[in-house]
Amino acid sequence: MSEIAFDPKMLEALVCPMTQATLEYDADKQELVSKAGKLAFPIRNGIPVMLVDEARVLE
């Protein structure tokens, strides 16, 4: 079963739910990174999970 690819064009419409800052796409980790919020939101089956509770905290 292959993963569904994330469409980077979605970044134009998405912002960090905590800070409203722009996000960066990390293709290797399949995450959307909010540097302002120090969070990384997972992408599952091509769909970003934009829940703060699901995000990984960045150092």
Could you state, in order of their start, the residue ranges of all structural domains in the chain? 8-57
Q: What is the pLDDT of residues 23-52, one digit of tens each?
A: 999 999 999 999 999 999 999 999 999 999
Work out the angle at residue 54's Cα, subtended by the Cα atoms of residues 41 and 19, and round it to the nearest 5 degrees: 55
- pLDDT for the residue numbered 3: 65
- pTM for this entry: 0.89
8-57 has which CATH code? 2.20.25.10
- pLDDT for the residue numbered 45: 92
- pLDDT for the residue numbered 10: 87
- pLDDT for the residue numbered 8: 84
Strands (E), the chain: 24-26, 31-34, 39-44, 47-48, 56-57
Rounded Cα distance, 31 and 56, in Å = 9
Rounded Cα distance, 58 and 51, in Å = 15
Query: In the 8-state DSSP scheme, what is residue 55?
Result: P
